[in-house]
Every structure is written in structure tokens, then in C-alpha cells.
Amino acid sequence: MNALNFIFKDINSVLFRKIFPMKRSKRTKTSFEIAPSNITLEVLSNGSSHMSPSVFIRTPSRCYLFNCPEGTSRISNLLRLRPNQIQDIFITKDKWENIAGISGIILSKDYAEENIRLHGPPAVSEMIKSLKPMLDSDFANPAYPVRIENCDCKRDNFEDSTLFVHYLNIENSKEIRYLFNGSNSPKCTAFLVKLKPCLPPLDPLKLIELRIPRSPLISKLKFGETITLEDGRIIKPEDVIDYRKKSIEYPNLLVVDICSFENIHSISENYLLKDFMSDNRTQQMNYIIHFTQQKIFESEEYKNWIKDFGTKCTHLVLNIKGRFLPVSDATHNIQYLLNSIFPEGFPEICPFGQVLEGQIILQDDEKYDIKNKIDKNIGPIYFPEFLRRFSLRGNLLKDEINPILLDFNWKNFLKERIKLEPIELQKE
């Protein structure tokens, strides 16, 4: 009875919020933004679970999502990814499995004054807008709290204070003919991402020594401007910059999803990638994220293409071949508890207990990554699992007090639950 009352209470609270929405205060925006000094590349899904492959670039204040499969808004809590941080979603292919989670992200946003930008094939924006009338009819009011901005592949690039993104249209010979006649648009898009350089850090000891107050003057120093204090002293940026701190940086990455063998020639001949390819390259590609199917990835033509990026380029393959890992440890823990009570009614769910029992998987645990070496002239190839992250700038904080992890120690979970039960049940 108490459980039913609790459920009805939740339903009433949801309906009340829909009928009488709260007036949220508008978030204040800074007059300028600078490139962050800490950026990571994180795996949202490697495709081996029920979610399609997806990754995101995380900064302290913003996230850039590449493909948004169904369940993204649900799993974002585990990754401590707030929907308000997501303003840009990049779609590699106009397939439903790549965009099914966009509506959930949009509905979870709090601030109506922010837009959400969809990057990729033109059909993506139309598919999302077609869902709006159905969602409106469910809630009897406009469901999308934000305006959707379409940044399709007809543009050349996108940039903000953090990164610069080139759109690389991928077509085969038939699609090129249709594009020339104006009767079609590319269905696959690759994204060449270049991080903008961050400003050098300031030495706090020098700021204290020079008695510089906490004010917008410090921001001007970071931007390379000379300031004048109230006492008439002139402070130059080189007086307070800390030249000892040099962060590790991997600024260039490519996100690619080849749909067919005919598309390989299109991406390999793209002029924007020529600076990163062959022995005469002028820039180094640091990461290539492959959403490409395994049969295409293993083809000789595809291998010859990625070979041109050299041995210093790391390849992250997210195409179902990685290790299967559940996206929620709570589901398996509860199922194990119920299975211990009534095995016939609550069977084990895949993967079965003997596979994950007792494992605690941390976010930066590399021992479960599947590594593959197909050619000595190709850089390291990883099939990372869910939760993995890689540093693009700065250092990974591996000594966090409350790290992100999956705990499959079901026996301890069962013991803790038994301690909370009445003594009579423990005796039974």
C-alpha cells in the first residue's frame, strides 16, 4: 500500500509540473568565453549494448555529442552529464538509431533561451521536428523548451570558443550525380575537429605578490592585454604568466562513419585531410573515431587509407566489436537480489553472473580495452568499452574522491540489503 501511495505521489507531482510549470531564473551569461584548459574525449556507447555507438567531447562547462542514440538522457546521470551542457549534437548518418535520443535531451533542458544545434545531414532536423506535434499532444502544451537550429552539411564549418569543426561530406558516385542535379543531399557526414589553443595559465603567487585584485583585470591579463592598476602601476601579461605549466595536448581528431565501400574513395580524397596524410604531412592527426562497420574497417582499401595517418594516430573503433558492458549496474544488482529469492520468476539477465560477478569497473581502467594490431604502419587500434575516456588537453583526474564506476559485486550488495531487513526475515 505504501508503494502505491509513493507511485501516485510521483504521478501527481509530474502532472502538477506539466500543468503549472515553474518559472526558472535565467542563467547569466558571461560576456566572453575562453578555450578551456581541460578537455576529454569520452565513450558514451561502443555499440555492443542496446545503444548505438556514440562519443562526446567534455569541457568543464560544455559537451559536444557525436550521435545521440536512444537512452542518452537516461545514461547521462551516470556519466554526470547535464543536459544543459549539451548545445551541439553532431550526427554522422541520418539513421533513426543515431538520433533517437535527441528528443529526450531537449525535453530535459531547463533554460528556454538556449538553442540546440544539430550538425549533420539535412534530413536529421526534419526528422526531429516531425516528432514535435506528437509530443505536444501528449502534454497539451509545446513540448520542446528550446529552439532547434539546423547546421547541416551544406555549411563548410562550425566554430565556437572551444573548437573548430569542418564538415566532410561523404558521397559515392551515384550520390555525387544526384547532388549535381540538386535532387539529393549526402546521407553521411564526417567531422574534422580541431581544438582552439587555450590561454597560458597565470601564476597565483605572482598575482598576490603584485597585489592584483580579483576583478575583470585578471581576465584581461589572460587575453594578453596590458592593464593599469588604480595606483598607476602597469602590469604586462608576461609579468604574471606561469611558463612552467605546459599541458599535454592532442588537438586534432576525426569522427567518421563510412556507410559503404564506395564512400572510402570520397573520404580518402578529401582535400581537408591532405595535411594529415602521407609522409609529407604538415599536421598530426591524434585520434580517429571509427563508427564504420567491421567488414568495411577490415577491407584493404580502408586499411590503406588509415595507414596514411601514420603510427602516431590512435584509432578508436566503436562498431559493436568492443567488450559488452551493461550501462547500469543497479539493474543487475536488483535482478541478482530478486533471483536469489525466486530464481524461476527472476532469471539472470545477460551477461550472466559468472561473467561480471565481483568486478568493479572504473572509468579509466584500460585493462579491458581490446587492442588490435593489423599493420606495423598503422597506429594503435583500440576497441574501448563504455565509460572509457581519453585526454585531449590537460591531465585525467584519476585520483577523484568520487569516481565514476560500475560495481558488480552482487554478493556484497545482497549482504547490505539483508542487513536492512527485519530480523524475522533474516531468520527465514
Note the pLDDT tens digit of each residue in 263-296. 898 899 899 999 999 888 899 999 999 999 989 9
Share of the chain above pLDDT 70, in %: 75
Window from 16-30, 128-142, 302-316, 373-387 with minimum mean pLDDT: 16-30
**Residue 241 dihedral angles phi and psi, to the nearest 5°:** -75, 140
Q: What is the pLDDT of residue 354?
A: 54
Are residues 132 and 36 both part of a single domain?
yes
Say yes or no: 301 and 422 in one domain: no
Quick one: average pLDDT of 25-54?
A: 75
Task: Give the integer Cα–Cα distance in Å for 32 and 250.
Answer: 24
Mean pLDDT of 25-42: 67
Residue 137: band (very low, low, confident or very high) from pLDDT cuts 50, 70, 90: low
In a domain, 10, yes or no: no
Residues 358-387, mean pLDDT to the nearest whole number = 79
Residue 26's pLDDT band (cuts 50, 70, 90):
very low
229 and 334 part of one domain: no
Answer with the residue of higher pLDDT: 358 or 53: 53
User: Residue 315, exposed/middle/buried by CB under 10 A (0-12, 13-18, 19+)?
Assistant: buried
Judge whether residue 249 has pLDDT over 90: no
pLDDT tens per residue across span 215-240:
888 888 877 788 888 888 998 888 88
pLDDT grade for 183, boundaries at 50, 70 and 90: very low
CATH of the domain at 303: 3.60.15.10
Q: Are residues 276 and 388 in the same domain?
A: yes
Is the residue at 209 inside a domain? Answer: yes
Tens of pLDDT, residue by residue over 330-345, are 777 788 778 888 888 8
Please report which confidence band the pLDDT of residue 367 belongs to, taking 50, 70 and 90 as the band edges.
low
Q: What's the pLDDT tens digit per position in 192-207?
A: 999 998 877 888 888 8
| CA-closest candidate to residue 194, choices 282, 258, 287, 264 | 287
Q: Is residue 17 part of a domain?
A: no
Q: What is the pLDDT of residue 88?
A: 93
Q: Specify if 131 maps to a domain.
A: yes
16, pLDDT greater than 50: no
Average pLDDT over residues 137-152: 66
- Whose CA is closest to 261, among 292, 306, 307? 292
Same domain as 225, residue 132:
no
Range of weakest confidence among 1-5, 64-68, 99-103, 394-398:
1-5
Residues 223 and 106 in one domain: no
332, 315: one domain: no
**For position 351, what pLDDT does the model report?**
61
136: pLDDT strictly greater than 60: no
Higher pLDDT, 363 or 152: 363
Residues in CB range of 137: below 8 A, 6 or more apart: none
Per the CB < 8 A criterion, the answer to whether 11 and 286 are in contact is no
Q: What is the pLDDT of residue 153?
A: 67
Question: Is beta strand 287-290 parallel, antiparallel or unpaired with respect to 252-256?
Answer: parallel
- The reply to whether 181 falls in a domain is yes
Contact by Cβ (8 Å): 357, 410: yes
Greatest mean pLDDT among 237-246, 315-324, 366-375 lies in 315-324
CB 130 within 8 A of CB 193: no
pTM higher than the cut 0.85: no
Buried b (16+ CB within 10 A) or exposed e, 268-294: eeeeebeebbeeebeeebbbbbbbbbe
The whole domain housing 417 covers: 326-367+404-428
pLDDT of residue 411 exceeding 50, the answer is yes
- Taking 3-state DSSP, the helix, strand and coil percentages for the chain, each rounded to the nearest 5, stand at 30, 20, 50
| Average pLDDT, integer, range 50-70 | 92
Q: How many domains does the chain have?
A: 3
Same domain, 271 and 343: no
Is residue 6 a part of any domain in this protein? no
Mean pLDDT of the chain: 79
Is 8 within the bounds of a domain? no
Is residue 214 situated within a structural domain? yes
Residue 231 and residue 103 share a domain: no
Q: What is the pLDDT of residue 180?
A: 41
Residues 223 and 332 in one domain: no
> What is the SS3 assignment for 3?
helix
Residue 408 has pLDDT above 90, yes or no: no
Whether residues 315 and 193 fall in one domain = yes
Residues 211 and 282 grouped into a single domain: no
